Structure 1
């Protein structure tokens, strides 16, 4: 049985997060900046620039997420933080029309993406990462956590499209569906108040 630990993504763990990104999905090219940048900013940046932005974010703190380790190897990542930091969410019309929470409310947090290295999939890392994210949000004063997972039962999806997490993972953690902005894309929330 492997030993799994979950740690905050502090600046000294930057290379560990990069290792997790390199082993699965679009993490390496995205550098977990998709939700923090506007579309125009995204289009003006390349992978190296997004990597620099991500490193600067980690150095400035607070940690923007958590790293999962399997037997000491960085194996996964989750981003969590105030929704106000995730500027693209407010500019995504389908989400903006479907959420009831005001976008300037810093007590509303989001879990926006996951990455798990291919060789460490199917070990429950997303669930463990989500648990750490929820615990962190609660301790940091979040009132609500919102997320935009993929409903795996609604059609077929490429693995790279599952970076939002699966609906079932969020439901198992106590999140409830509050809207559906696309047929396979619910909005889920967890009330921490």
Structure 2
């Protein structure tokens, strides 16, 4: 397995990792934390993918992991100011620093358990740094080694972020699948 991580620029590749099996399905497409709730809920079916395609035209909204030429994973990364984290009631704003956020790390079924999430997080760090970010935040789960439901593991785990050099800087009021989320930062 030869994993590379590149900025997400090809819609077909993003669709392979994030898109639905049925074109009319209303899957997340990693828009939940990127769009205000009302706008996110109003986008259904194919309109969700069309929105992602329009985002790609403005620049990469994240990074993709490839095994050879096959897209096998995704990490969303963007300035916090362009996400709902900028006004979250459950995830605190630590200070007024111009930080970037990484909030979704998804590995396709059949490719999990091979360390791809580590590659994705490293790729998100590199992408944010290349875009001029000086601080990158994540909001992973503090699962204390316990198993997490796969559908809720997309935010990553504290240990994944620690392995990438992030440090916890705050508690949050956010909980997923019974596990608290923590706010972690890495100075770039």
Q: CA deviation at 1:67?
A: 0.8
The CA distance in 2 between the partners of 1:91 and 1:41, in whole Å, is 15
TM-score by length of 2: 0.87
User: Out of 147, 155, 164, which is 1:173 matched to?
Assistant: 164
User: Out of 15, 22, 27, which is 2:12 matched to?
Assistant: 15
User: Out of 176, 179, 182, which is 1:186 matched to?
Assistant: 182
Q: CA deviation at 1:18?
A: 1.0
Structure-2 residue corresponding to 1:40: 38
Alignment of 1:4-153 (within 5 A): 4-10=3-9, 13-22=10-19, 29-61=27-59, 63-86=60-83, 88-95=84-91, 98-102=92-96, 107-153=98-144
TM-score by length of 1: 0.85
Q: CA deviation at 1:100?
A: 1.3
SS of residue paired to 2:64: strand
Q: CA deviation at 1:136?
A: 1.8
Counterpart check, 1:161 vs 2:159: no
Q: CA deviation at 1:155?
A: 5.7
Q: Count how many residue pairs are aligned between Structure 1 and Structure 2.
A: 179
Structure-1 residue corresponding to 2:176: none
Where does structure 2 lack aligned partners over 5 or more consecutive residues? 174-178
SS of residue paired to 2:127: helix
Q: CA deviation at 1:21?
A: 2.0
SS of residue paired to 2:77: strand
The CA distance in 2 between the partners of 1:92 and 1:113, in whole Å, is 16
**Which has the higher mean CA deviation after the structures are superposed, 146-155 or 28-37?**
146-155
Residues 19, 29 of structure 2: 8 Å contact kept: no
Where does structure 1 lack aligned partners over 5 or more consecutive residues? none
* Structure with the largest fraction of helix: 1
Q: CA deviation at 1:156?
A: 5.0
